[in-house]
Structure 1
Amino acid sequence: MFRGWTGQQLQKFPAEFGLRGDMKAAAVVFLLVNCVSECHGWRCSPGPQLSGAAQIDAGQGQVVMRNDKQEVFFLSGSTWTRLGSVALKHVSVGPAGIWGVGASDMVYKYGGGDFLLSSGQSLQQVDAGGQSQTVGVTSSSTIHCLSFAASSAFRRNGLLSWETIPGQLMYSSCSSFGCWGVNSGHSIFFTIESCPNVHWVHVEGAAVMAEVGADGSVFVVNSNGNLYQRTGISARVPHGTGWFQVPLSETVKHASYDLGNLWLVISGGIIMKCSQ
């Protein structure tokens, strides 16, 4: 566990001792280096830090992150590098490339050194993790998908033909093993079908976000910031059989999983990297 330190304490600690700039970040990381957590097979340690981390996404061996200033960064080795100049409230990376949503729900795809604006559909959250589709949800919880061919062929200021999926969700995540989502009532849903012929199956539990990795591993975060992993997933039961709570002492703001690594943003904007 984190030996009694809360994310708020970790964030305030450097300021209380008069540290500034890089010294603040170094102090936070120094504290966390000695707070390695081993939780029923999950071993968590500090990842590369960047002040104000708010949302993280991993896919295709790449990791992207958004901070509380809506700036987007790409992880290269252990260094975060600014990605483009567009302010985004959500960013996602996967087989379809790097996609994002701006403050006014405009949809962007990264290409040619910056995020390129598209037209045709407004979204509040987008996911690029599907092998055959890009999926997003609107502020009114309608669900929309874009074929892999259409998303791959997108060019600057292009018109994208999104198709509407039955159902209502406020957050979605896809892989080749299916799509997971949660609605405004925190109910969890799963589908194995591809866009647009989707039939959602209700899964027990409650969450505010769900993330699925390329290997089918599924994690959700509930309204209290607790992290759960789906268990019993198989070809016969693709939606699994139960939930296991990953016992962290800090609340989780966002989670993403790829290539055996579980990336977390915990309270205080601290980035953690977990593996088994």
Structure 2
Amino acid sequence: MRGEIVYLVFIVGSGIVSVAEALRCHPIPGILKQIDAGAGRVCGIDHRDQVVDFNGDAWVSLQATGKHVSVGPAGMWRVGLGDLVFKWLGSGWVRVNPDRLHQIDAGGDKFVVGCNASQGIFCLNRRPVLAYESPGSVPWRQVPGLLNYYSCGPFGCWGVNKLGHIFVKMGVSGNFCQGPRKWYRIPGSLSMVEVGTDGSVHGVNWKGLVFWRAGINACNNFGSRWLPIKAVGRSRHVSYDRGILWVVCENGRVQRCTV
């Protein structure tokens, strides 16, 4: 729906919030399972498990299969179908050893984070990220805690576990990607959460409803409340970068939305 103002009321956690949101959405060709936007670039995993890159008109194959891909200040990284990790080096993919992940995020300040199938959390500091130019081993660091999805930005890192519980970690940096041990629990329930390079936070719950965390800034890392966003029906994945919300609908169709 283009330019339509939609009034919504949803229950988030134990509270009721309402929002009037004008959302301009345009369909993008292709069928995706997952999408990620960062540093002005958009990539995804299509319905054939191919890693694809959006060139402004269509999705272009990057000659690899995968289950999750991420692009941001740390470059482009993917998790293969066998949970192996790879980095894009301009003309091809290079294997990153050791460890196996099922989700990865390159949106932090030139550092990388991710989770494995057992909800283990791992990260890679800025120096080895930037220096990695050929196959070899890197010093992954384990982060205390259990998460199924983890994403970082300038004001902190957000994650969700398999129960849908939402957590935030402060004090994470390119030289200290583990951050302090303390996690902060945030009310609500999500199946995935993404932090934009501007610090904005969006997520999808188990019903496929998309939410935005209002009030996040340098003085308030936690924000104030979850506000629903009317995308295009139910959704499975979202990502935000430079004023554009990219939405993968429940049926795999892609929408490019200006908020």
Same topology, TM > 0.5 = yes
Distance 1:161 1:47 in 2: 41
**2:208 counterpart of 1:196:** no
Change (3 A) 1:177 1:47: farther
Aligned-pair CA distance for 1:156: 2.8
Change (3 A) 1:190 1:42: farther
Q: What per-residue deviation string (whole Å, max 9, x for no partner) do you get for residues 161-205 of structure 1? A: 100111110001111221110001100011122122332111000
**2:85 counterpart of 1:102:** no
CA contact (8 A) 2:23 2:231 kept: no
CA contact (8 A) 2:23 2:230 kept: no
CA contact (8 A) 1:38 1:44 kept: no
CA contact (8 A) 1:48 1:80 kept: no
CA contact (8 A) 2:110 2:129 kept: no
Secondary structure at the counterpart of residue 150 of structure 1:
helix
Higher helix proportion (structure 1 or 2): 1
Aligned-pair CA distance for 1:225: 0.3
Q: What per-residue deviation string (whole Å, max 9, x for no partner) do you get for residues 36-59 of structure 1? A: 654433423224311x21111000
Change (3 A) 1:265 1:36: farther
Distance 2:231 2:27 in 1: 16
Aligned length: 241
Distance 1:249 1:269 in 2: 11
CA contact (8 A) 1:177 1:214 kept: no
One-letter amino acid matched to 1:41: E
Distance 2:98 2:231 in 1: 41
One-letter amino acid matched to 1:53: L
CA contact (8 A) 2:160 2:167 kept: yes
Distance 1:36 1:266 in 2: 19
Aligned-pair CA distance for 1:102: 0.8
Query: Which residue, 26, 39, 55 being the options, matches 1:60?
Result: 39
Distance 2:22 2:32 in 1: 22
One-letter amino acid matched to 1:243: W
Distance 2:120 2:22 in 1: 35
**2:24 counterpart of 1:44:** yes
CA contact (8 A) 1:168 1:183 kept: yes
Change (3 A) 1:38 1:91: farther
Distance 1:196 1:172 in 2: 12
Change (3 A) 1:112 1:218: closer
- What is aligned with 1:229? 212
With 151-160 and 166-175 compared, the bigger mean Cα shift is at 151-160
- What is aligned with 2:189? 206
**Percent of aligned pairs with the same amino acid:** 37
One-letter amino acid matched to 1:253: R
Give the unaligned 5+ runs of structure 1.
2-34
Secondary structure at the counterpart of residue 151 of structure 1:
helix
CA contact (8 A) 2:51 2:66 kept: yes
CA contact (8 A) 1:132 1:176 kept: no
Aligned-pair CA distance for 1:235: 2.6
Secondary structure at the counterpart of residue 152 of structure 1:
helix
Give the unaligned 5+ runs of structure 2.
7-19
Q: What per-residue deviation string (whole Å, max 9, x for no partner) do you get for residues 208-228 of structure 1? A: 100111111111100110001
Which structure's CA Rg is the greater one? 1
**2:112 counterpart of 1:134:** yes
TM-score using structure 2 length: 0.88
Q: How does 1:178-189 map to 2 (within 5 A)?
A: 178-189=156-167
Distance 2:204 2:147 in 1: 15
Secondary structure at the counterpart of residue 136 of structure 2:
coil
